[in-house]
Amino acid sequence: MSAILDAPVLPTYLKGRDFLNFLEYSPEELQELLTLAAQLKQLKRSKTPHKLLEGRSVAMYFEKPSNRTRVSFEVGIFDLGAHPFMLRKEEINLGVRETIADTARTLARYVDCVMIRTFAHQDVEELAQWSDVPIINGLTDDYHPCQVLADLLTVQEKFGNLKGRKLTYVGDGNNMAHSLMLGCAMVGMDVTIASPSGYQPQPEITKKAQELGAVSGATVVISDDVKSAVKNASAVYTDVWASMGQEAEAEARKKVFREYQVNAENMALALPEAIVLHCLPAHRGEEITAEVLEKHADIIFEQAENRLHAQKAVLAAIIK
């Protein structure tokens, strides 16, 4: 059996760590997770058992509905030999039925890890503050680190390297924009966020990403000009114009974001080998044309698959 199909050696120094927004990790640790994700992907595809978390249990709490997050985490937990437990909002009602501190201290007596997908990022931080077991951010209004770990894995697989590449994100300066800025800056990828005025990323997160970029040699640019932003990009990324919780703004946002679309005209300005990424679900004809999505469908759905492998790497690395 080839070496890559052997059981990976888990980085013990990550045991017990939370995974909230990348800022708790060094660039070297982030790369360690990407390496582990690639190894776990090989094991999965070769159908080689890798029950690295035999006997462990993971609680999954959802306040926001999910397709990819729910399925990829549940399958990943099973793959690793652990037991997933689905917790619904009406069962937990975080911070309402009891304090977040009490919920955290209770769950920590039952399970080995908690994955939470919710709205307010401060709720995840408070849960982590009081929990004796690791907390994984499955998505909040401010950050989506699990998705971006999968995105970085996808770019690395496609081009063989991350440092020096340019990723351009076109759309709302939302949780995806925030996590892409931080993740790309940490690994040395140049990143440009193209968003209309009033919808750009939070200034304090942009500043932090630029500080990280100053160390890694990456540039972090915020622009309202799609065409200049896309020029010479290796990867062009987009997301829906109205995220969960913004449904009432959807029609108004269509007018604001009309020019912020990934289409053939804009892709012609990127590098000839450029890929298109989308965290899904996609609204064809809005943030991306059907033509461009289908042209790049193979890489987009590889990116979706990589959620499974990236999240397994986090689970395997942090659960004690």
Q: Is 239 a catalytic residue?
A: yes
The β-bridge partners of 88 are: 62
Point out the catalytic residue in the list 39, 50, 79, 147: 147
Q: Is 56 a catalytic residue?
A: no
Point out the catalytic residue in the list 68, 307, 309, 311: 307
**Cα(298)–Cα(199) distance, integer angstroms:** 30
Angstrom CA distances, 18 to 4, 24, 120, 250, 298, stand at: 27, 8, 17, 33, 32
**Cα(74)–Cα(240) distance, integer angstroms:** 25
Q: Is 147 a catalytic residue?
A: yes
Enter the tokens of residue 188: 């040395």
All residues at 6 or more sequence positions from 35 whose CB lies less than 8 Å from its CB, including other chains: none
Point out the catalytic residue in the list 279, 303, 309, 311: 279
Q: Is 122 a catalytic residue?
A: no
Point out the catalytic residue in the list 56, 239, 296, 311: 239
Q: Is 279 a catalytic residue?
A: yes
Point out the catalytic residue in the list 117, 178, 253, 278: 117
Q: Is 113 a catalytic residue?
A: no
Active site residues: 117, 144, 147, 239, 279, 307
